């Protein structure tokens, strides 16, 4: 497929790289870009050779937010009819393989929310994260009011959203928003090395872990634990578990079978 708003490639045969590519708009997120992102993510998820995905932007901006120029034309009816945000932004939540956000420069508004939808955030030392929507009189609408407090806690989340002040990558790591911070020059190599490592892990176990964590966060602890207990017996019968045990006994790296997720 020919993409207009993203660039797609593979790294080392195991990692799918998706680069947001609207440089004149600092990678502002519009409907067309999010449609293409969802298509690319699903294609990589269905590709048995791919074990991990990376979403990245430019050195100047991961994504500076949702496309305000497009949103300015929306009415209540437009948003309701088009199922704005839910229709295509949440596609990433259905992806079973690990997804890493490699963030350089600005990750503001929808850009910060997109990064939080990923499983990991690895940031360059020039990255800035923020939810500045209040400055134009609206609220974060792609998960900011819900995901951010779950990640950094109520006080920090309210501070970021009510003040509209961005936080730099080192502080973002301190409050748990970011998994790791590297120099701008090292961001790509460090991210790709991490992605290659994740791509060697059991695809079946990865998919189950992601599902259990995401679904369990919305449940009281006893129900979440029950969900985990229900998933365990099937894993014990899996080919990946059998291979993992054999590899452990033979003192070698496991060769997990790829999972067909089509």
What tokens does 23 get? 């440089």
Query: What's the CA gap between 196 and 190, in Å, rounded?
Result: 10
| Distance, CA of 41 to CA of 89 (rounded, Å) | 12
d(CA 65, CA 113): 9
Q: Which pLDDT does position 127 carry in this prediction?
A: 98
User: b/e for 249-258, b at 16 or more Cβ within 10 A?
Assistant: eeeeebebee
Residue 88 is predicted with a pLDDT of: 79
Q: Which structure tokens are listed for 88?
A: 């295509």
Same fold, 6-198 and 203-250: no
Res 71: pLDDT: 64
Sort residue 153 into left (φ over 0), alpha (ψ -120 to 50) or beta. left
| d(C-alpha 31, C-alpha 70), whole Å | 9
Q: So what's the pLDDT on residue 257?
A: 76
CA atoms 21, 90, 9, 191: torsion sign: positive
Q: Which two tokens stand for residue 67?
A: 């496309």
CATH fold for domain 203-250: Lyase 2-enoyl-coa Hydratase; Chain  A, domain 2 (1.10.12)
Can you name the CATH fold of 6-198?
2-enoyl-CoA Hydratase; Chain A, domain 1 (3.90.226)
pLDDT at 83: 63
Radius of gyration of the chain (CA): 19
Residues pairing with 180 in the sheet: 122
Residue 260, Cα to own-chain centre: how many angstroms? 21
Active site residues: 66, 110, 113, 133
Give me the pLDDT at residue 260, please: 39
DSSP per-residue letters across 41-107? HHHHHH-TT--EEEEE--SSEEE--B-HHHHTT--HHHHHHHTTTTTTGGGGGG--S-EEEEE-SEE
| Alpha-helix runs per DSSP H in 47-153 | 68-71, 76-82, 110-117, 144-152
Q: Tens of pLDDT along the chain (262 residues)? A: 789 999 999 999 999 999 999 999 999 999 999 999 999 999 999 999 999 999 999 999 999 987 666 666 666 676 666 766 667 778 999 999 999 999 999 999 999 999 999 999 999 999 999 999 999 999 998 999 999 999 999 999 999 999 999 999 999 999 999 999 999 999 999 999 999 999 999 999 999 999 999 999 989 999 999 999 999 998 999 999 999 999 999 999 999 975 433 3
Domain ranges in the chain are 6-198, 203-250
Q: Which two tokens mark 210?
A: 């992601």
The pLDDT of residue 77 is 73
Helix (H), strand (E) counts: the chain? 11, 10
């Amino acid at each position: 497929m020919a993409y207009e708003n993203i660039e797609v490639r593979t790294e080392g045969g195991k990692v799918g790289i998706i680069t947001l590519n609207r440089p004149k708009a600092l990678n502002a997120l519009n409907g067309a870009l999010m449609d293409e992102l969802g298509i690319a993510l699903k294609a990589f998820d269905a590709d048995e050779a791919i074990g991990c995905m990376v979403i990245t932007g430019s050195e100047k901006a991961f994504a500076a937010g949702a496309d305000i120029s497009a949103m300015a034309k929306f009415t209540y009816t437009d948003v309701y009819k088009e199922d704005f945000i839910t229709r295509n932004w949440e596609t990433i939540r259905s992806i079973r393989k690990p997804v890493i956000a490699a963030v350089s420069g600005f990750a503001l508004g929808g850009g910060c929310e997109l990064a939080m939808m990923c499983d990991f955030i690895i940031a360059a030392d020039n990255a800035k994260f923020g939810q500045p929507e209040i400055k134009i009189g609206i609220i974060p609408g792609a998960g900011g009011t819900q995901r951010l407090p779950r990640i950094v806690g109520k006080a920090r989340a309210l501070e970021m959203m009510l003040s509209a002040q961005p936080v730099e990558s080192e502080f973002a790591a301190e409050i748990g928003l970011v998994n790791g911070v590297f120099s701008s020059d090292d961001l790509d190599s460090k991210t790709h090395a991490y992605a290659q490592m994740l791509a060697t892990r059991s695809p079946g176990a990865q998919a189950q872990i992601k599902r259990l964590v995401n679904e369990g966060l919305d449940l009281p602890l006893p129900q979440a634990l029950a969900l985990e207990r229900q998933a365990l017996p099937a894993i014990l019968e899996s080919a990946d578990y059998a291979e993992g045990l054999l590899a452990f006994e033979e003192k070698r790296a496991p060769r997990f079978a790829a999972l067909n997720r089509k």
